[in-house]
Structure 1
Amino acid sequence: MTQAYVHGYDPKEQTRLQDQAMTLVDLLHSDTAYPPGSQILEAGCGVGAQTVTLARNSPRASIVAMDISETSLAEARHRVMLEGLTNVRFQRGDILDLPFDPGSFDHVFVCFVLEHLKEPGLALQNLKACLRPGGTITVIEGDHGSAFFHPDSDAARAAIRSLVELQARTGGNALIGRSLYPLLRRAGYRQISVSPRTVYADAGKPEMVDGFTKRTFTAMIEGARQSAIREGIVEPAVFDRGVRDLYRTAERDGTFCYTFFKAVGTA
């Protein structure tokens, strides 16, 4: 997996990932738990934003958290250590060149990874090979085309599209959530189920407005400003107005809606 992570590795992005994980923990992970003694691979663990929840939800399972970035792995190790979790070990590895024997794991967990890959189907095939027969894969991805908000704004939509285009130019797909079923099916998985996980934020849900509308989604779009403008994807004035309009949806009369997709398949 040689392409760059489109959001970068600076401390602001690490904070955004943690904010996202904490805000969405129940929505995305409340139904993810593995039996005692299970061997779990978290492929693309990043800074450990999801790893902590996985380890807490399955305290008697053994988790291998893998990532290609040593910088991210160092942050993930630190986070897990601070939480006092002992059922995780870390390994550097490439999802397209896995360092594991066939059938090494009972379950695989992949969250917000496929969107960054040029060959997500190949990654899913590789992960299937390291699952024992009957093992499962859980995949969670977003879909930036699912964002709806009030007040509506052409500039905000242009800013979102600029990140979608930027990610496409690096070989990724920010709309991949809608494609999980066919991707898993073509990779050879069986008994596939996909469930939409919709975030809705308004003034009656201030924690979601702050944690998701402001600090997760809009912060993500805002972080793409320099790259999107440098690539000539969007005019600076349009992008800046779009970001202001996204923050406007976090005011008392605003609303914001976004859908993640969670898929489970059997090897």
Structure 2
Amino acid sequence: MTSPQPAPVLRVRPRVWIGLAIWLGYVIVVFIVGKLSGVPYTEMGRDGGTLFLGAGLMLIVGAILLAITASLLGWWRPALFDRKHGARWPIFVPAIMAVALVINLASTDWGSYDLGFFAASIVLLLVGFTEEMATRGLLLVGLRSRLHEGWVWFLTSAAFALMHLTNALSGQDIGLTMTQVGMAFLGGTIFYILRRTTGTLIWAMVLHGLWDFSTFAVGHGTPGPLAALASPVFMLAGALGLIVVAFVIRGADERTDAPLPAANAASLA
């Protein structure tokens, strides 16, 4: 394993309530932007226009606000990087999810794409930055100020899952939404494992963004015969993730409650 990195100098001392406030604020903002777009969740992705207005616009707004928040707090480094990565071998779990992603892309009816839909689809890649930064980034930094790493995994994964409840308020069937919430918890566990095995949130952002891109892609047009395999492969990755997540939690020492430098502490008094 690599040697631990020194604790970063933070402009604002992390607190659990700050992380939760950022997460809740993100959920509220993207929900409001989505509602103002006038595109129901069930119509999102029908064409390039509905995909951009229903998803792309909220992701752009969310990305800008999260970047500003991370800069004001001085939390960029602990949000994106761990001081020491966990066990490496559980990385096979996100690798299995990547197989499901490839199945989606291989099953996509690329001939059904037009320029507008493709451009809007590219904007979807921002979901990797926004949802990861809101949960396994800034929320994680806040939780690590007080909680054991096991709680950090569980609560960031649960917060990520609960984000998807807003889809029911945007027109999606409640039963389908609850299934989505459960799958999101598994996905959150996979992304957490990827953060801990690599020591950075960046790869989780990449996998997350490509995954959402692939799920919208395969749902456009007529999917290929292998498309039905992606979900079972993803579920396998999620189930294995629940089994091995303890190994990346074990020995984690990522507390973010170090005292502020004297100058910063005095300015906040």
TM-score, length basis structure 2: 0.28
More helix by share: 2
Higher RCO, 1 or 2 (CA under 8 Å, sep at least 6)?
Answer: 2
More strand by share: 1
